[in-house]
A and B are shown apart, each in its own frame.
Chain A
Amino acid sequence: GNSVTQMEGPVTLSEEAFLTINCTYTATGYPSLFWYVQYPGEGLQLLLKATKADDKGSNKGFEATYRKETTSFHLEKGSVQVSDSAVYFCAMDTGRRALTFGSGTRLQVQP
């Protein structure tokens, strides 16, 4: 079946450190892939997306590349800030219009 697997959290980093949050997927066909961010007490915000292999999504210094050969969509940022502290969800849409979410990864950035 379709599934999304994310690395376990929490991830704790110092300000200006490099961030990687791993995400792999299992799906038939060619899903669209998304990263959503959820700040404490808020809803989900779309961070970035990619709709086909080798596409790179980017926003606010975050990047992720759709890797079909490794079925991955890892999230990266070169220098994190305290304000990036949130829960990050990797998700995919296989065309059924129902998103399949990963379990979420909590990021804590310390000053």
Chain B
Amino acid sequence: DTEVTQTPKHLVMGMTNKKSLKCEQHMGHRAMYWYKQKAKKPPELMFVYSYEKLSINESVPSRFSPECPNSSLLNLHLHALQPEDSALYLCASSQEEAGTQATQYFGPGTRLLVL
């Protein structure tokens, strides 16, 4: 089973709202990722969690706040977003293997529209 699930599938929010995106995997993977994908562009890395600790933050604005409550769950808390933050948000996970490159498996994404 190589499934990563994401909820919600679609989200519309105003600039003053607070919302959260959720990602879940049950493959025993210890690394989890958030990517942002704008239309007709490749995904751009936002955050990496390794063993439930934040290991990479690609200079993402503080209005995006990640959280990894346990090894299977990854959340992205959203607050005071701008219309240009509208995009497809993808979660991924991989087996954490020290010193090797591990395959990342992606979820279906949450399509976010900020009004």
B-binding residues in A (CB < 8 A):
31-32, 34, 36, 41-46, 49, 51, 89, 93-99, 101-104
Contacts and interface: CB of A to CB of B under 8 A. Distances in A.
**What 8 pairs across the A-B complex have the smallest Cβ distances?**
A101-B42, A32-B101, A93-B101, A43-B108, A44-B106, A43-B109, A43-B106, A98-B45
Contacts of A43: 6, 88, 90, 106-109
B: interface residue count bin: 20 to 34
23 contacts: A31-B101, A32-B103, A34-B103, A36-B106, A43-B88, A43-B90, A43-B106, A45-B106, A49-B103, A89-B43, A93-B104, A95-B100, A96-B56, A97-B31, A97-B33, A97-B56, A98-B45, A98-B58, A99-B43, A99-B104, A101-B43, A102-B42, A103-B41
A44 B43 CA distance: 9
B99 interface: yes
Nearest to B107: A43
